[in-house]
């Protein structure tokens, strides 16, 4: 299983993502100016502040040359995970429904959150059980998930709500407590909290590994 982690100018979590995937497979760093996905089995769009969050978070990174390849890869069923800024990029690119708006508090919040697994139909949660609670850190200022009500109904009906903030944990004001969603096919997932920062009990939790293990099982 070979994971590729994209590096944009302003990315800051690509090293942790590489370290996380090295526990379940191999990882390579992909430069955003390249056109080559290096035959990876899965792509991770990491957290950070690509292009300084200029204009809107994620708005400019989607025009990086490598994102064209990621869009093609995703549309052919390739596994793609967007974490935090990566989630924003995938929404801006139209690979995932909805948008991420500023937290209702307007503050940058960094804290451990409990997430509930809602759908195990996605390729990144297939090794989980519905109702499982994952303790994972979140750190962002623009993480309020929003989509029009008919779209939210559709996501619920299709099992595209992958993760919700557990009761009392929705600190950013996300619609219907949504922390992560997938595309209709389930191969593309985005979430605001950071599973790559929760891969070792030494630093508080290893629950984030479940997502990477799910992807590795699919590819195996």
Binding site for another protein (CB under 8 A): 55-56, 59, 63, 92, 98-99, 101-106, 144, 146-148, 173
For residue 144 the two structure tokens come to 């309020």
Q: Is 110 a catalytic residue?
A: no
Measured from the CB atom, is 106 or 202 closer to another protein?
Answer: 106
Measured from the CB atom, is 103 or 170 closer to another protein?
Answer: 103
User: How far, CA to CA in Å, does 2 sit from each of 8, 37, 169, 200, 216?
Assistant: 20, 11, 33, 21, 9
Nearest approach in angstroms of CB 171 to another protein is: 13
Choose the catalytic residue: 32, 140, 194, 197: 194
For residue 126 the two structure tokens come to 């297939």
Q: Is 128 a catalytic residue?
A: no
Q: Is 196 a catalytic residue?
A: yes
Helix, strand, coil % over all residues of the chain, rounded to 5: 30, 30, 45
Is the separation of the CB atoms in 198 and 135 below 8 Å? yes
Measured from the CB atom, is 103 or 125 closer to another protein?
Answer: 103
Give every CB contact of residue 153 below 8 A, 6+ residues apart in sequence.
none
Count how many Cα atoms sit within 13 Å of the Cα of residue 161 in the half-sphere of its side chain.
23
Measured from the CB atom, is 55 or 185 closer to another protein?
Answer: 55
Choose the catalytic residue: 14, 71, 84, 140: 84
User: What is the CA angle 119-105-211, rounded to 5?
Assistant: 25
Catalytic sites, residue numbers: 84, 194, 196
């Amino acid at each position: 299983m070979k994971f590729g982690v994209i590096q944009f100018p302003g990315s800051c979590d690509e090293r942790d993502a590489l370290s996380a995937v090295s526990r379940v497979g191999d990882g390579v760093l992909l430069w955003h100016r390249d056109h080559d996905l290096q035959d990876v089995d899965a792509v991770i769009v990491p957290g950070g502040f690509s292009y300084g969050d200029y204009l809107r978070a994620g708005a400019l990174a989607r025009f990086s040359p490598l994102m064209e390849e990621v869009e093609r890869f995703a549309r052919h069923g390739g596994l793609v995970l967007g974490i935090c800024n990566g989630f924003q990029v995938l929404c801006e690119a139209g690979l995932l429904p909805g948008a991420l708006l500023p937290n209702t508090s307007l503050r940058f919040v960094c804290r451990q959150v409990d997430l509930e697994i809602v759908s195990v139909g996605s390729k990144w949660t297939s090794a989980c059980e519905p109702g499982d609670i994952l303790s994972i850190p979140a750190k962002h200022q623009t993480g309020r998930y929003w989509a029009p009500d008919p779209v939210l109904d559709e996501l619920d009906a299709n099992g595209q709500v992958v993760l919700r903030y557990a009761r009392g944990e929705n600190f950013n004001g996300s619609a219907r407590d949504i922390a992560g969603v997938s595309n209709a096919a389930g191969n593309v997932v985005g979430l605001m909290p950071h599973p790559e920062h929760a891969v070792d009990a030494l630093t508080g939790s290893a629950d984030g590994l479940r997502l990477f293990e799910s992807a590795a099982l699919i590819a195996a």
